[in-house]
Structure 1
Amino acid sequence: MKKITLIAFVLFIGLVKSQAQVKVSPGLRGGLNLSTLTNIDDNRSKTDFYVGGLVNIKFNKYFSLQPEITYSRQGDEGRYFENGRYYSEKYELNYLTLGAVAKFNIGGKGFHILGGPSLDFKISDNYINSNPENFDLAIVGGVGYTLPNGLTFEARIKQGLVDIYGYDGINNDNDYYYDEVILNQVFQIGISYTFKVK
């Protein structure tokens, strides 16, 4: 019984010490979106922006978890042929994104790699003849560098996993046709700033 009590006490002290090292810092993020949709002929990427907030939960100098809420303007620039000429039109898919990225600091320094999921809720679009899905699930990966003052520069790739029209890539014969699935793809370049909380 004494051994169990001693082990429990040591584990409790270790937990308290590890919790004392956790630093929680709120922040802001924003930047440039270069977005497109997969498997659409003659489309081009659309340039727009994203902006939002974050909470950086730093467990130690090597690892932190960062929940985020972001307004992200996505879509693409499509081309269509009418009356003997080509026209272009920007297609808007605007999302409220709830995400969480794990950040791994290389050598405990400013350079980091990151990755994680995001759940995107569509809040508006400008589609006239169709109705895109109201949500997307995406995977995010990227690299960045954080300065000692809390300013971070990042580049990310965000890959949607849900077809914007609800197609799952399988036909009636259970064959896969992933070259017909229309997914969000976004390349993001941006900055963030975390506030120091005492």
Structure 2
Amino acid sequence: MKKITLIAIVLFIGIQSSQAQVKVNPGLRGGLNISTLTNIDDNNFKTDFYVGGLVDIKFNKYFSLQPEITYSRQGDEGREYFDNGSYRNVNYELNYITFGAVAKFNFNGGGFHLLAGPSLDVKVGDNYINTNPENYDLAFVGGVGYTLPNGLTFEARIKQGLVDIYGYNGFDYDDDYYYNDVILNQLFQIGISYTFKTK
């Protein structure tokens, strides 16, 4: 009985000490979006913004997991053609609420880090007239950043959508894959975040 009690106490102390090392800090993030859509002729990049919140779950000085929820204004600058051959430039909007979680790997426990993770994007608005883009996107995020001791972070990210915005899976009726026909979100983000220190 004494051995069981001793083992239980040791396990309890071990669990408590491991939990004490995990630090959970909320934060805010925002910045510049430079977005486009793949495989569309005569389109250009569109600049807009993103803003949201995060929770930094720091397991040790080398690794942390960061769930995020963000409002992201995306799309591209395309052309609308008329019957007489003329055209006008149009800013096509695809606005999402994104739910992501990035893993952050800190070099030598310092401020410089790499990050990567998935994202589920739910469309909350668009300005398309003749077509109806998909209501969601799945994406992969990768990037680099640097965090100052006061919690201010500077980051650059690339985000690649994985779902065709019109629902095309890239296959034709003969089961041949045509990547050049798939229209995907592509996004480059430059921004800052601030993590609040909690006790």
Question: Residue 14 of structure 1 corresponds to which residue in structure 2?
Answer: 14
| Structure 2 SS opposite 1:123 | strand
Q: 1:196 is matched by which residue type in structure 2?
A: K
Question: Residue 61 of structure 2 corresponds to which residue in structure 1?
Answer: 61
Question: Residue 149 of structure 1 corresponds to which residue in structure 2?
Answer: 150
- For the residues of structure 1 that align with 2:115 and 2:53, how far apart are their CA atoms? 17
State the Cα distance separating 1:178 from its structure 2 match. 1.1
Q: 1:15 is matched by which residue type in structure 2?
A: I
Q: 1:59 is matched by which residue type in structure 2?
A: F
- For the residues of structure 1 that align with 2:7 and 2:157, how far apart are their CA atoms? 44
Which structure 2 residues correspond to residues 72-151 of structure 1 after superposition, within 5 A? 72-82=72-82, 83-151=84-152
Q: After the TM superposition, list the runs of 4 or more consecutive aligned residues in structure 1 that deviate by more than 2 angstroms.
A: 1-15, 80-86
Q: 1:147 is matched by which residue type in structure 2?
A: L
| Structure 2 SS opposite 1:107 | helix
1:61-109 deviation line (CA, Å, top 9, x unaligned): 1011101000000000002333343311010000000110000000000
* Superposition CA RMSD, Å: 1.6
How many residue pairs get matched?
198
State the Cα distance separating 1:12 from its structure 2 match. 4.0
Q: 1:65 is matched by which residue type in structure 2?
A: L
Q: 1:93 is matched by which residue type in structure 2?
A: L
Question: Residue 49 of structure 2 corresponds to which residue in structure 1?
Answer: 49
State the Cα distance separating 1:157 from its structure 2 match. 0.4
TM-score between both structures, scaled by the size of structure 1 = 0.94
Query: What 5-or-longer segments of structure 2 have no aligned partner?
Result: none
| Structure 2 SS opposite 1:179 | helix
- For the residues of structure 2 that align with 1:131 and 1:85, how far apart are their CA atoms? 24
Task: Indicate whether 1:25 and 2:44 are aligned.
Answer: no
Question: Residue 71 of structure 1 corresponds to which residue in structure 2?
Answer: 71
1:13-48 deviation line (CA, Å, top 9, x unaligned): 332211101111111000000000000011001000
- For the residues of structure 2 that align with 1:142 and 1:5, how far apart are their CA atoms? 48
State the Cα distance separating 1:7 from its structure 2 match. 6.1
| Structure 2 SS opposite 1:136 | strand
| Structure 1 SS opposite 2:172 | coil
- For the residues of structure 1 that align with 2:116 and 2:128, how far apart are their CA atoms? 31
TM-score between both structures, scaled by the size of structure 2 = 0.94
Task: Indicate whether 1:164 and 2:165 are aligned.
Answer: yes
Task: Indicate whether 1:37 and 2:13 are aligned.
Answer: no
| Structure 2 SS opposite 1:17 | helix
| Structure 1 SS opposite 2:166 | coil
| Structure 2 SS opposite 1:127 | coil
